[in-house]
Every structure is written in C-alpha cells, then in structure tokens.
Copies of this chain bind each other. A is one copy, B any other.
Amino acid sequence: MKFATLKDGTLDGCLVLVSRDGHRAVRAGAVAPSLIDALQRWDEVHLPLCDLFESLNVGSAPGAFDFDPTACAAPLLRGPQWLDASAFLNHGRLMEQAFNTPPIPLFDSVPVMYQGASDDFLGPSDDVPLPSEADGIDFEGEFGVVTGPVPMGASPEAALACVRLVVQLNDWSLRALGPHEMKTGFGFLQAKPSTAFAPVAITPDELGSAWCDGRVQMRLQVQWNGERFGEPHGGEMSFHFGQLIAHAARTRRLSAGTIVGSGTVSNVSRAAGSACIAERRVIEKIDVGEIRTGFMKFGDRVRMQACFDDGQAGPFGVIDQRVVAAPGAR
C-alpha cells in the first residue's frame, strides 16, 4: 500500500491511499482519518485499507481523484518518536574528519542514534524557514522506516518484523551548531531543525526485491539548485533497520508510528557523490586539499528522489524544498 497525507488544517492531516502508479488517490477517512490512527489500529484497519487500495488500483474506488504530491504534508505530520541513526559508516567516518571530533567508540559494532523532534515535520514541497545562513545549512538524504509497537528488548529480527512503512526523508542539519553539541555529549538539538519527508509512505512489499536484508536497495538521487549532487545507494547501510530499531528499544518500548532513520545515505565509491554537503566538503579537503563547496543560502533548493537499480523512479515521490529566512533571521 501507498499512503500520503493531505493538508487540511488539522494536526494529523487527512489520510489518502495513493494508487500503485502514483496518479490517483482516495481518502481513507472511512477506515482511518490519519496515518497515525491507522498505525495505532493497524491490525484492525489493515485489511479494509488493502481492499480500498486494490479498488483504487483497478479504478473502482468511489471518490478517487488525481493525486497531487505537491499538496501533501509529511505522511506523518507528527509522530511519537523520531530516532535517526548514522548507519552508513562511510558517512560517519567522513563526518569525524569534517567535524574534527574524536572517533565514535564501537562505531562498527553498536549503532549510534540521536533523538530528534517529532512534533513538526515538513512536507515534501514546504519551504524550510531557518534563522541564519551562518548556521551552515545542509541537507541529509535518508531512508527510514515507521514501526508498529515494539516491545522493550526486542531482538533485531523481531524488530525488523515491526516495520510497517518505508519512507524517504531529508534530515535538515545546521553544521555550524553540530560539533559543539556533539562535544557536550548531550547530542544534537539546535543542529537539527524540522525534518522533511517525501510525500508517499509505503508498505515494504511495494518495493519488491528492493526491500532486502532490512535495507532499501535503491539509489537516492540528490540535486542542489538543479545540479546533480549524488546518488548513493541504500544497500551499503552497515546496520539493517531491525538492528537500529532493536537498539532504540533496548530500554524502552516504541509506540506505533515511531520513525527510525538510516542516517545520510553514503557510499565508499566517490563516483556516487554525496547526499549531504558536509560530506562533499570533507571529500574535497581529502582529495584536492581544500574545501570548495559552501553551505546553502536562502533561496536555494534541494531535490531528492529515490530510484530503483534499473533507473525507474521509486514510489516515495519527490522532496523539493526551498530554504527561506525565518522571521527575524540574520
């Protein structure tokens, strides 16, 4: 199934199902008014939603309409927890050099993960208001999963079975603020403003063989102001999503609707480019001896779209956002 959320002025928006071809949609309110409601009552609503999805796909769903992904909010406008890992070790090792921070202990064997704000997610076409260009405005292209309820102490295998949906996201980051927050040991807070999501959240089966080994086996194409920036592949994730969820659930239970992110998609091959500016900058420093790329300016745009290995566009739709000055910005 493919889900999206239309903006309707409510805190959770209006849930729609999106057809497999991405062209049509139908309101799911008779079954579940919002995606968070559907996730909280998944066992009860799963079959009725499947039925509605199939009727949409064959053109028989009453009230179906043309789907406009640019009218969408994030699939979840808010969620119970947003936990973002750094599961591409290539990215993490480069960022240690970029930030000049000490090596993360046990980085190869224990996932690292920060808790982000989950009350104010951005939609795929929303402007991104930020207070200052001097903060080092950067994007981070990622994949993520949305869980059902996960009991405390779940194994990685049991945790992987709790995945309900797969999402594509941009973990907006402020690089001038990150290193200080890492050095405090308390983790990212000001360095992580609201996170943005591609319009369509999908059940893993919609990916076919591209959902494999608990990873999203797709390339994430990133463009900055219309120019190619990179298209790293999700298959190089060093921990699978079940391991990440189990890490999060080691001492707490996770509520239905918890989102777990992969961290910036990153490949060892330089040819793949990058899914964040900070990584390109440190690669420039390593490879050519100087940083040549600045961070984003107000008015800049970033576009992200996942594609299958055969080049076909993926089911998540497009994140295409513009950075703007927040009220009172410097």
Interface set of A (CB-CB < 8 Å, partner B): 11, 40, 78, 80-81, 83, 86, 101-102, 104-107, 110, 112-120, 129-131, 135, 151-153, 174, 177, 180-194, 247-248, 250-255, 258, 326-329
Contact = CB atoms under 8 A, between A and B. Distances in A.
Given A81-B117, A81-B118, 20 more contacts: A78-B255, A80-B118, A83-B189, A102-B183, A104-B183, A106-B180, A114-B186, A118-B118, A119-B255, A129-B152, A130-B251, A131-B250, A135-B251, A153-B326, A174-B251, A182-B185, A185-B185, A185-B187, A186-B187, A194-B252
Contact of A327 (B106, B118, B153, B194): B153
| 5 cross-chain pairs, A with B, having the tightest CB-CB distances, nearest first | A187-B187, A182-B185, A80-B119, A114-B186, A119-B255
A326 B250 CA distance: 11
Nearest to A172: B251
The secondary-structure label for the interface of chain A is: loop
12 contacts: A78-B255, A80-B120, A83-B189, A112-B184, A115-B115, A115-B189, A131-B152, A131-B153, A135-B251, A186-B187, A190-B252, A193-B252
Given A152-B326, A177-B251, A86 B131 contact: no
Nearest to A11: B40
A63 to B, nearest CB: 29
Given A78-B80, A152-B129, A187 B114 contact: yes
Contacts of A251: 130-131, 135, 174, 177, 190-193
Contacts of A188: 186-187
A99 to B, nearest CB: 8
A224 to B, nearest CB: 20
Contact of A255 (B120, B191, B250): B120
A251 B117 CA distance: 11
A51 to B, nearest CB: 27
Contacts of A182: 185-186
A152 B117 CA distance: 14
Contacts of A105: 180, 183-184
A174 B83 CA distance: 19
Nearest to A115: B115
The residue in A177, A187, A248 that gathers the most chain B C-beta atoms within 10 A of its C-beta is A187
Contacts of A83: 189
Contacts of A81: 117-119
Contacts of A328: 153
A115 B112 contact: no
